[in-house]
Amino acid sequence: MSETELALIRAERSAKDAAKRAKERAVALAEQEAQRKRENLNIYRQKCAAICAAVSKRPTNLKLVFDLETTGLNFAEDEILEAAITTVDGGVLFESRFKPAYTKEWSGAQRVNGISPEDVEDAPGIIDKIGEMAALLQNAETVIAYNGKQFDIPFLERYGIRLRPDAVIDDPMLYGAVVYGELRGEGEDVNYKWKKLAVLADYLGYKGANWHSAAADCIATAYVWRQLQESDMIEKYNENLAKLNEVSEETDTSF
């Protein structure tokens, strides 16, 4: 092998090594930036929590529906873009968009909720509105949220909103799945499939909604909740629950 060929090989290896080091530096810098964001967001949330803790405890008999739109699904890093709270009759008590404190873009979530950075550029920070939200939710007798137990309520808790110890947390997604009645899985894992709000609302006769607006989703959730309280829906729930038990027993292969 000639000196020229060896030099070319060494240059190629050097370039690859340099590219690898540059990539590693970029990854390290990105992680450092993400860590700084998490730390700053935690401090911001602690300030929000202090506001929530100072809210007067004045228990009400209100049944409230709430919904959030966020920059993503990561509790540690994502932020709230929009929130709404309504009555079970669909009356809007609170509605606001928020400018995230540290998140600059959220293209994945934007494709779902339609909220762009430009849409919230002049919006208040959630810290300016969290006291209003806390006054309603922390004093409510019942809090209703679609997928609330899995997502919305834990997300709010990150900002310091704590529901009353005796509050009823009602998630119509869970028992609505039983009423809808689409089975999935096998054996001990067989269960009813959770449905998106739009699907269940349509199934129950709801007409029209600006989906993924927090207030519109609250109003749709309130409709679904009301429908599921009807005697025929309760009867259907019980029938489908019995069917689930039968299917589970039929597919149980244990001895």
pLDDT given at position 252: 53
- One-letter amino acid at 2 equals S
pLDDT given at position 28: 77
Buried b (16+ CB within 10 A) or exposed e, 149-176: eebbbebbebbbbebbeebeebbbbebb
- One-letter amino acid at 61 equals N
pLDDT given at position 27: 78
pLDDT values of the chain reduced to their tens digit, one per residue, 255 residues: 677 777 777 778 877 777 777 787 777 777 788 888 899 999 999 999 999 999 999 999 999 999 999 999 999 999 999 999 999 999 999 999 999 999 999 999 999 999 999 999 999 999 999 999 999 999 999 999 999 999 999 999 999 999 999 999 999 999 999 999 999 887 778 899 999 999 999 999 998 777 778 999 999 999 999 999 999 999 999 999 998 888 776 655 443
Tokens read off for 184: 């999935």
Other C-beta atoms lying within 10 Å of the C-beta of residue 94? 19
pLDDT given at position 250: 65
pLDDT given at position 77: 93
Closest residue by Cα to residue 152 from 135, 172, 132, 175: 172
Q: Say if residues 69 and 216 touch (Cβ distance below 8 Å).
A: no
